[in-house]
């Protein structure tokens, strides 16, 4: 460890010895193994401050995270450190922190390609489509090529994009990917190659890039001798958060930018590698010391989140993984309740228990938003959601459809994308088919007409719309002409969103029963848009780092949220923490999922997923095990199966939990004993007498 610069000594006193060693590392590649709750963000922000104090220009520091929010939080903390160092030169400190290259892999790729893309023949006015739009384009091409219309099973659009994306992100050929992950698609290999080629060609023609393209083009730019030299000259220090979640393509980008590891810092936790379905590989972090000779490994083990009893249980669970970095998390919070393993008769009793415990904690001063219910799959919470609704308890569920993926938001964004890039036929077809009386065939004709006119929207003025479209068509053409005019950009993106919202509102009312709530979503989006300087920057950020919910949008716009219980998939809970955590369905077949039992690697990832869920808890942890699973989730349907406790709570682990039933006998409602003389037969006799002659 290098010495702490004098101007940082007071600021670095808050760090423990391991954090200091990581923050003040000087030469060679650095791997920080940061266990759950060990202050990785604090460590990484102090490392950035250290590098700046050592004389590295902030504009030559690249900070890669997996969300824009995480990057912003990191830069905010660095800014606070620089302000404290600067003693009266706050403006200078802020300017330095703002010059740091901070963002996600995809947003950084977009920024670099805007700057250097023309060097590899990529126009700098490309637009970016999200996953849903990419699926729609894949589906349209499948129809054009007449694939899957012979009565034989052919992959759906979501599966098609998954296959394509996995090939790209693992840098693999199609056949091996099909053999390992999609064996039933092997017979379609030739057709898939034809489809994927058409997919690439169509994106080029429309000047659009999807998420995979951003990484592919960045990788190609970095792999080129001249391009790689350019990027290496751009960055003197590269820091990567959540390195366990990177894929082969992303690690290849880093290798091209930092071939010998000089200036490279990666932070992560192999025990939290849970995204293999996105082509992430835990091998990147496990093999990092072998990939970069002379790597220094610093392990952070002091946990600032959870109590020691919770950590004892979670340590034992992850200790039973087959391959991992050795670490033993510990906390100065020695006291605290042992985690509870709760035996429930079925899903309904599980729901009853969680609701009761949530309310008890709330009465004890723990607000709803400091409590979270976590589950492996979205449908695991259905019984609980019914009970919460019945009890009028506010909740919000994460892990389902993202805000940007909802139909009404995608509709509004399509108008803006088409105005930004008239060659974007995916967006064009979407907005055209929103109009009554215009189907796919007519919409395609209009797209062709636009192309023939060199993508001038006034070409649509000559179109004679069907009777159902007459009212809307001139307003639609005027909207697109206004949005594409140079004056529109001057008015600001918020004004543009307002224009689109005004035009779209009557169409929204016609399409959806819950139009009012959807209108509110779009109003919030308009408020968010006011923070952006251009349409392109708005489209890029919302596409590349979308809010996961309307609550996120409200927070971004400064709106206050009411207190609500958090329901979340485990994947969506990563990086978060709550005072009390309830984990549902701790049974084999649920976690580990019955779909992830074919290999040791899959089971290990399910173990890590379970570990992530448990390590979100600060003070109270409840793991619920329903013994019976009723088919169709109906208590009155007597068909059921008996569950087995998740294999991840082994005989060695059980003693670290306090095991208890969901309800004690005293807590159950029992009929009061009473001497009642009236019988059911007496009642029935009286009823029969009502109808006697």
Question: DSSP assignment of 625-661, as one string?
Answer: EESEEEGGG-TT---EEE--B-TTS-TTTGGGSEEEE
Structural contact between residues 391 and 355, judged by C-beta atoms closer than 8 angstroms: yes
pLDDT at 497: 92
Burial class from Cβ neighbours inside 10 Å (0-12, 13-18, 19+) for residue 589 reads: middle
Structure tokens at 580: 């009390």
Q: Confirm or deny that 27 is annotated as ligand binding.
A: no
CA distances from 662 to 364, 387, 582 (A): 19, 16, 13
Structure tokens at 26: 């000087």
What b/e sequence results for 624-652 when a residue is b if at least 16 CB atoms lie within 10 Å of its CB, and e otherwise?
A: bbbbebbeeeeeeeeeeeebebbbbbeee
Structural contact between residues 19 and 200, judged by C-beta atoms closer than 8 angstroms: no
Q: Confirm or deny that 261 is annotated as ligand binding.
A: no
Burial class from Cβ neighbours inside 10 Å (0-12, 13-18, 19+) for residue 314 reads: buried
The sign of the torsion formed by the CA atoms of 245, 133, 129, 405 equals: negative
CA distances from 251 to 230, 238, 463 (A): 18, 12, 51
What span, in angstroms and rounded, lies between the C-alpha atoms of 558 and 548? 16
pTM, two decimal places: 0.81
The residues that bridge with 623 in the sheet, in sequence order, are: 341, 583
What span, in angstroms and rounded, lies between the C-alpha atoms of 63 and 543? 20
Structure tokens at 278: 């996105």
Q: Confirm or deny that 464 is annotated as ligand binding.
A: no
Residues in the chain: 693
What span, in angstroms and rounded, lies between the C-alpha atoms of 169 and 164? 9
User: Which of 196, 187, 162, 189 is CA-nearest to residue 175?
Assistant: 189
Structural contact between residues 521 and 410, judged by C-beta atoms closer than 8 angstroms: no
Residues of the chain with pLDDT under 70: 1-2, 87-95, 149-152, 400-404, 546-562, 630-640, 665-675, 691-693
The sign of the torsion formed by the CA atoms of 242, 244, 245, 247 equals: positive
pLDDT at 671: 47
CA atoms within 13 A on the CB side of 369: 5
Structural contact between residues 652 and 643, judged by C-beta atoms closer than 8 angstroms: no
Angle (nearest 5°) at CA 371 between 246 and 543: 40
pLDDT at 92: 59
Query: Which residues, 6+ apart, have CB-to-CB distance to 18 below 8 Å?
Result: 298, 299, 300, 301, 302
Alpha helices in 207-321 (DSSP H): 211-223, 225-234, 248-257, 283-286, 288-291, 308-319
Q: Confirm or deny that 38 is annotated as ligand binding.
A: yes
Q: Confirm or deny that 543 is annotated as ligand binding.
A: no
User: Which of 331, 301, 351, 282 is CA-nearest to residue 584?
Assistant: 351
DSSP letter at 247?
Answer: B
What span, in angstroms and rounded, lies between the C-alpha atoms of 125 and 448? 21
Give me the helix-helix angle, 248-257 and 225-234, nearest 10°: 80
Q: Confirm or deny that 37 is annotated as ligand binding.
A: yes
pLDDT at 554: 46
The sign of the torsion formed by the CA atoms of 239, 244, 247, 248 equals: positive
């Amino acid at each position: 460890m290098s010495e702490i610069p004098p101007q940082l000594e007071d600021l670095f006193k808050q760090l423990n010895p391991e954090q200091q060693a990581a923050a003040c590392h000087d030469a060679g590649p650095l791997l920080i193994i940061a266990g759950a709750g060990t202050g990785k963000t604090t460590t990484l922000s102090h490392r950035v401050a250290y590098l700046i104090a050592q004389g590295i220009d902030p504009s030559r520091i690249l900070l890669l995270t997996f969300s824009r929010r995480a990057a912003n939080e990191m830069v905010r903390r660095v800014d606070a450190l620089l302000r404290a160092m600067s003693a009266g030169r706050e403006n200078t400190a802020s300017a330095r922190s703002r010059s740091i290259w901070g963002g996600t892999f995809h947003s950084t790729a977009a920024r670099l390609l805007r700057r250097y893309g023309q060097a590899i023949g990529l126009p700098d006015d490309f637009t970016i489509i999200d996953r849903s739009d990419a699926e729609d384009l894949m589906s349209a091409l499948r129809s054009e090529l007449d694939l899957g219309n012979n009565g034989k099973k052919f992959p759906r659009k979501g599966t098609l994009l998954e296959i394509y994306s996995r090939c790209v992100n693992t840098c693999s050929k199609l056949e091996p990917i099909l053999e390992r992950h999609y064996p039933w698609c092997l017979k379609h290999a030739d057709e898939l190659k034809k489809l994927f080629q058409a997919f690439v060609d169509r994106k080029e023609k429309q000047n659009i890039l999807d998420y995979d393209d951003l990484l592919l083009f960045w990788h190609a730019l970095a792999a080129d001798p001249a391009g790689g030299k350019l990027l290496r000259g751009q960055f003197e220090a590269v820091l990567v958060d959540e390195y366990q979640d990177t894929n082969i393509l992303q690690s290849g980008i880093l290798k091209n930018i930092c071939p010998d590891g000089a200036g490279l810092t990666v932070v992560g936790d192999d025990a939290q590698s849970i995204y293999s379905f996105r082509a992430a590989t835990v091998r990147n972090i496990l093999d990092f010391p072998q990939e970069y000779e002379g790597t220094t490994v610093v392990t952070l083990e002091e946990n600032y989140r959870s109590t020691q009893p919770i950590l004892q249980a979670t340590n034992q669970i992850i200790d039973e993984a087959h391959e991992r970095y050795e670490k033993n998390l510990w906390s100065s919070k020695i006291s605290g309740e042992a985690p509870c393993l709760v035996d429930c008769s079925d899903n309904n009793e599980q729901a009853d228990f969680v609701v009761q415990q949530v309310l008890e904690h709330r009465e004890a001063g723990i607000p709803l938003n400091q409590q979270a219910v976590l589950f492996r799959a979205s449908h695991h919470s259905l019984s609980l959601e019914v009970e919460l609704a019945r009890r009028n308890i506010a909740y919000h569920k994460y892990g389902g459809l993202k805000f940007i993926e909802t139909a009404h938001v995608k509709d509004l964004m399509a108008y803006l994308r088409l105005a930004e890039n008239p060659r974007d036929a995916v967006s064009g077809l979407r907005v055209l088919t929103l109009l009554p009386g215009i189907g796919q065939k007519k919409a395609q004709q209009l797209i062709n007409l636009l192309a023939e006119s060199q993508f001038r929207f006034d070409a649509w003025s000559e179109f004679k719309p069907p009777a159902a479209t007459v009212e809307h068509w001139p307003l639609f053409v005027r909207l697109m002409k206004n949005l594409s005019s140079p004056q529109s950009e001057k008015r600001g993106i918020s004004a543009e969103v307002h224009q689109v919202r005004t035009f779209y509102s009557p169409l929204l009312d016609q399409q959806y029963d819950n139009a009012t709530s959807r209108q509110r979503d779009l109003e919030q989006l308009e408020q968010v848009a006011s923070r952006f300087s251009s349409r392109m920057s708005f489209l890029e950020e919302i596409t590349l780092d979308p809010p996961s919910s309307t609550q996120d949008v409200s927070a971004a716009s400064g709106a206050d949220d009411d207190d609500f219980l958090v329901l979340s998939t485990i994947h969506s809970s990563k990086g978060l923490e709550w005072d009390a955590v309830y984990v549902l369905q701790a049974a084999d077949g649920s976690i580990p999922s019955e779909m992830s039992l074919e290999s040791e690697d899959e089971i290990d990832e399910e173990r890590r997923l379970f570990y992530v869920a448990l390590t979100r808890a600060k003070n109270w942890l409840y793991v619920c095990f329903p013994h019976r699973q009723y088919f169709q989730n109906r208590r009155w349907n007597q068909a059921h199966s008996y569950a087995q406790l998740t294999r991840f709570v082994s005989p060695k682990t059980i003693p670290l939990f306090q095991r208890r039933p969901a309800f004690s006998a005293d807590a159950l409602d029992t009929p009061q004993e009473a001497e009642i003389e009236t019988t059911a037969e007496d009642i029935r006799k009286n009823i029969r007498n009502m109808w006697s002659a």
